[in-house]
């Protein structure tokens, strides 16, 4: 059936003549349009739902922060203090690392060091002398170091001269004492030798008289000689026996003298060495103490020139008078480093703390650099999060303090653009937490609510 036939049939069904409905608009069939509309709506829902469920979106914790200086001002102090001799800088001056700022007076330290050096030289020279005495050397030979130092040092020359004289005097006294004992020993041995010869002679005479008495007694028995002759020989015999006894006693006494003299010689040598050893021990202890004092004084002298710890600008320096006294450990000035390392500290809500990880990437924006040509976004990394929450004094809100280190490449970009960061500059921080879908964002509150409901149940 044609379309005109369908129209007439429709008119016929409403009971009107065909010529009376010439201007009536016939109704259209809308079913295909509804179907297409529903299909488009379904497709849109599926596409949007799929995108919401599967399309990844960058996720970040957004917070505010500010710039801080990572390298603090360097304090300039002096451990011992002292009297100001030179002032090389003034407040506000730009200085380089290692540049002399102040010089302290060295008069007292130099005097103390000279005194310590003198005592140390005397101690070392005494040790050399005592070692020569202990070893029994006839001449004193100085250590090469002392000899070299003494060439241009009148004080040390005098010390070495005194020690040489003392060595000679002590050696002469010891040698003389040994000589006296040696002479006594030699004399006693000589006397003993003479007495032993005399005893041999007396022994022979006693033997001869004994034989004579035997012969005379036989002759007296035969009345061939007078008894008076026998008695005279007997008296001579007894006299010789007495001489032998006296000489033997003298030999014994002299042997005792020899033994005592030898003992004295050994004992005197031992006492001499013991005295030297004791003196060496005392001087070695003194030498250690003096070397320690010398090192301490040299260290103090080396620190009289106060240098700049870093390159920067002098701050808080008020000294202007030479001769002013600086107290030990007191703050003299500060040096503000010119090459600063910057960090950003941000306040993170306790609700977001679970997504923060050390090393986490972040973007930092500064409102002062909002002009697009200045590359306002720089990159940083999370390096530290406070162990516990802090409380804002004004808002009384709790937060965690997050510290971020700005990447070197970002700092170079700022330098190339002639831009610089300033401590206290406000910043907007985006801590990247990964990728999430739109559906995750939408259902997370509902999921959390359901979990809490079940936990409470």
Instruction: Say if residues 137 and 168 touch (Cβ distance below 8 Å).
Output: no
SS3 140: coil
Say how many domains are in the chain: 4
Answer whether residue 434 shows pLDDT above 60: no
* Residue 60 β-bridge partners: 432
- Rounded to the nearest angstrom, the gap between the alpha carbon of residue 181 and the centroid of all alpha carbons in its chain is 60
Distances (CA, A) of 410 to 32, 178, 188, 316, 332: 60, 90, 105, 33, 36
Helix axes 227-302, 107-135, angle to 10 degrees: 150
In-domain check, residue 168: yes
Separation of alpha carbons 209 and 317, rounded Å = 118
CB of 314 closer than 8 Å to CB of 338:
no
Examine the pLDDT at 440 and tell me if it is beyond 70: no
pLDDT, residue 375, reads: 57
Strand, helix or coil for residue 319: coil
pLDDT band at 10 (very low <50, low <70, confident <90, very high): very low
Question: What digits encode the pLDDT tens for the residues 223-268?
Answer: 666 667 767 777 877 888 888 888 888 888 888 888 888 888 888 8
**Average pLDDT value for residue range 205-234:** 72
Which of 50-54, 124-128, 163-167 bottoms out in mean pLDDT, i.e. has the lowest?
50-54
Same domain, 136 and 262: yes
Q: Can you give the CATH number for the domain in which 356 is found?
A: 2.40.30.170
Which residue matches tokens 């080396």?
A: 302
Residues shown for the chain: 457
What span, in angstroms and rounded, lies between the C-alpha atoms of 257 and 223? Answer: 52
At 32 the three-state DSSP class reads helix
Asked if residue 447 belongs to a domain, the reply is: no
225 shares a domain with 127:
yes
Instruction: Output the 3-class SS for 101-132.
Output: EEEECCHHHHHHHHHHHHHHHHHHHHHHHHHH
Domain range for 33 is 3-54
Instruction: Say what the pLDDT of residue 364 is.
Output: 87
| Residues 258 and 120 reside in one and the same domain | yes
Residue 452 in any domain: the answer is no
Least confident of 211-215, 267-271, 320-324: 211-215
Cα 218 to Cα 225: distance, rounded to the nearest angstrom: 9
* 256 and 319 both lie in a single domain: no
In a domain, 238, yes or no: yes
Task: Give a yes or no: residue 242 inside a domain.
Answer: yes
Q: What is the pLDDT of residues 34-88, one digit of tens each?
A: 767 776 776 776 666 655 555 555 556 888 888 887 777 889 999 999 999 999 9
Q: Dihedral through CA 114, CA 117, CA 122, CA 127, nearest 10?
A: 180
For residues 328 and 356, state if they share a domain: no
Q: At what angle do helices 154-221 and 107-135 cross, to 10 degrees?
A: 20
Residues 120 and 193 in one domain: yes
- Which segment of 61-65, 275-279, 297-301, 366-370 scores lowest on mean pLDDT? 366-370
Same domain (yes/no): 277, 184: yes
Decide which of 305 and 176 is more confident: 305
Same domain, 251 and 262: yes
β-sheet with 82-87: strand ranges across: 305-307, 100-104, 82-87, 325-326
Whether residue 195 sits in one domain with residue 83: no
> How many angstroms separate the CA atoms of 284 and 291, rounded?
10
Q: Evaluate whether residue 371 is within a structural domain.
A: yes
CA 229 to chain centre: 108
Whole-number pLDDT of residue 2: 43
Do 402 and 418 lie in one domain? The reply is yes
Burial 90-115 (b: 16+ CB within 10 A, else e): eeebebeeeeebbbbbbeebeebbee
- Residue 321, domain CATH: 2.40.50.100
Give yes or no: residues 153 and 15 share one domain.
Answer: no
Whether 170 shows a pLDDT value over 60: the answer reads yes
Instruction: Determine the angle formed by the axes of helices 438-456 and 31-54, rounding to 10 degrees.
Output: 70
Region 326-342 average pLDDT: 87
Residues 212 and 66 in one domain: no
Domain-embedded: residue 442: no
């Amino acid at each position: 059936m044609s379309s005109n036939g369908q129209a007439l049939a429709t008119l016929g069904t409403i009971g009107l003549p065909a010529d009376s409905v010439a201007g009536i608009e016939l109704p259209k069939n809308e079913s295909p349009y509804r179907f297409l509309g529903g299909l488009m709506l379904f497709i849109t829902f599926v596409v949007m739902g799929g995108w919401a469920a599967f399309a990844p979106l960058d996720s970040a914790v957004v917070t505010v922060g500010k710039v801080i200086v990572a390298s603090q001002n360097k304090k300039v102090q002096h451990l011992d203090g002292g009297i100001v001799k030179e002032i090389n800088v003034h407040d506000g001056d730009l200085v380089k690392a290692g540049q002399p700022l102040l010089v302290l007076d060295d008069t007292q330290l130099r005097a103390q060091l000279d005194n310590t050096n003198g005592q140390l030289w005397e101690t070392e020279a005494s040790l050399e002398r005592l070692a020569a005495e202990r070893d029994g050397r006839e001449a004193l030979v100085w250590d090469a170091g002392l000899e070299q130092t003494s060439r241009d040092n009148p004080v040390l020359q005098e010390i070495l001269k005194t020690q040489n004289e003392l060595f000679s005097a002590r050696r002469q006294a010891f040698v003389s004492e040994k000589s006296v004992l040696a002479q006594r020993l030699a004399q006693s041995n000589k006397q003993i030798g003479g007495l032993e010869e005399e005893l041999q002679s007396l022994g022979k005479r006693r033997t001869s008289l004994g034989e004579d008495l035997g012969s005379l007694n036989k002759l007296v028995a035969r009345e061939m000689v007078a008894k008076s002759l026998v008695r005279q020989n007997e008296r001579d015999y007894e006299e010789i026996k007495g001489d032998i006894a006296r000489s033997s006693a003298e030999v014994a006494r002299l042997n005792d003298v020899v033994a005592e003299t030898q003992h004295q010689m050994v004992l005197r040598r031992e006492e001499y060495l013991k005295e030297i050893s004791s003196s060496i021990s005392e001087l070695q202890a003194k030498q250690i103490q003096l070397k320690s004092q010398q090192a301490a004084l040299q260290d103090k002298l080396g620190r009289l020139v106060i240098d700049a710890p870093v390159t920067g600008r002098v701050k808080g320096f008020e000294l202007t008078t030479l001769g002013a006294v600086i107290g030990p450990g007191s703050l003299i000035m500060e040096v503000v480093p010119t090459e600063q390392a910057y960090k950003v500290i941000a306040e993170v809500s306790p609700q977001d703390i679970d997504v923060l990880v050390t090393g986490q990437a972040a973007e930092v924006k500064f409102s002062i650099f909002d002009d697009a040509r200045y590359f306002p976004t720089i990159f940083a990394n999370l390096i530290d999060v406070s162990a516990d929450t802090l409380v804002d004094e004004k808002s009384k809100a709790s937060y965690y303090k997050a510290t971020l280190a700005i990447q070197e490449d970002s700092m170079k970009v700022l330098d190339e653009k002639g831009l610089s960061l300033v401590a206290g500059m406000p910043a907007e921080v985006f801590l990247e937490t990964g990728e999430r879908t739109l559906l995750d964002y939408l259902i997370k509150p509902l999921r959390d609510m359901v979990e809490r409901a079940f936990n409470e149940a």
